[in-house]
């Protein structure tokens, strides 16, 4: 899973020496800057699982119609949003957008990934709720240029206030992991397991050479 860091390393190397990029990655992984990122790359992807759980709940909270459409079409965030968190939007989005995301990420932490993700969905909301599974999944992987324009996207993204919700959802996630029903079918999808869906999502992130097109 460490290959997912290649996109991050590549971005940092555009602006600093190899040594500085290395130590910044270490700081990010170990939590010297914000919350530790190492759980994004550990076996079982524990932090990815948590973030996807939180993101799914935020979509249902802020865009219930779209959230319901995702349920009906059996779309879950592991199918389209894993790489957002693993690479902090550095894998295939336009460079101006990526730089803006990282400006905020280094200052405020991972919440910007949630906000930008919600902003992308909000911008395309009216189209997404009409699409069947295959077209929906394609649209969630390849957003239109106007949706990724920083001057349009970021005001929309920052309209989502997520701090308190993220804290509460993290507590809920921990309870589901540790609670007496952790072995139930509804809880199993929250565990850092090697599900077929997650394995496919990770494979797509790690073999993303064909995702440069939008």
**pLDDT tens digits, one per residue of 109-153:** 999 999 999 999 999 999 999 999 999 999 999 999 999 999 999
**pLDDT tens digits, one per residue of 31-59:** 888 888 989 998 888 999 999 999 999 99
Place of tokens 């949003």: 81
pTM of the model: 0.81
**Average pLDDT score over residue span 203-210:** 36
Cβ count near 64 (within 10 Å): 10
Residue 147 CB partners (closer than 8 Å, separation 6+):
120, 123, 124, 153
29 has a pLDDT exceeding 60: yes
Q: Is 46-171 assigned to CATH 1.10.472.80?
A: yes
**pLDDT tens digits, one per residue of 90-112:** 988 999 999 999 999 999 999 99
Region for residue 74 given its phi and psi (left: phi exceeds 0; alpha: psi -120 to 50; beta: otherwise): left
Instruction: Give residue limits of the domains in the chain.
Output: 46-171
Helix and strand counts by DSSP (H, E) for the chain: 13, 0
| CA trace torsion 148, 104, 122, 143 (10° rounding) | 30
CA distance 56 to 152: 23
206 has a pLDDT exceeding 60: no
**pLDDT tens digits, one per residue of 146-196:** 999 999 999 999 999 999 999 999 999 999 988 765 544 333 443 333 344
């Amino acid at each position: 899973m460490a290959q997912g860091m290649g996109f991050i390393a590549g971005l940092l190397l555009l602006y600093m020496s190899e040594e500085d990029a290395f130590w910044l990655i270490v700081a990010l992984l170990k939590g010297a800057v914000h919350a530790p990122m190492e759980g994004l790359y550990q076996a079982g992807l524990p932090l990815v699982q948590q973030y996807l759980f939180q993101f799914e709940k935020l979509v249902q909270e802020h865009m219930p119609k779209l959230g319901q459409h995702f349920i009906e079409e059996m779309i879950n965030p592991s199918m389209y949003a894993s790489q957002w968190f693993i690479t902090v939007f550095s894998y295939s989005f336009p460079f101006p957008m990526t730089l803006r995301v990282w400006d905020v990420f280094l200052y405020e932490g991972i919440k910007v990934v949630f906000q930008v993700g919600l902003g992308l969905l909000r911008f395309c909301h009216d189209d997404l709720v009409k699409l069947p599974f295959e077209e929906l999944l394609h649209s969630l992987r390849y957003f239109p240029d106007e949706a990724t324009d920083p001057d349009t996207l970021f005001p929309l993204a920052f309209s989502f206030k997520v701090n308190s919700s993220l804290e509460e959802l993290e507590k809920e996630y921990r309870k589901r992991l540790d609670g007496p029903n952790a072995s139930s079918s509804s809880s199993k999808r929250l565990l850092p397991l090697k599900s077929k869906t997650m394995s496919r999502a990770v494979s797509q992130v790690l073999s993303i050479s064909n995702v440069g097109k939008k």
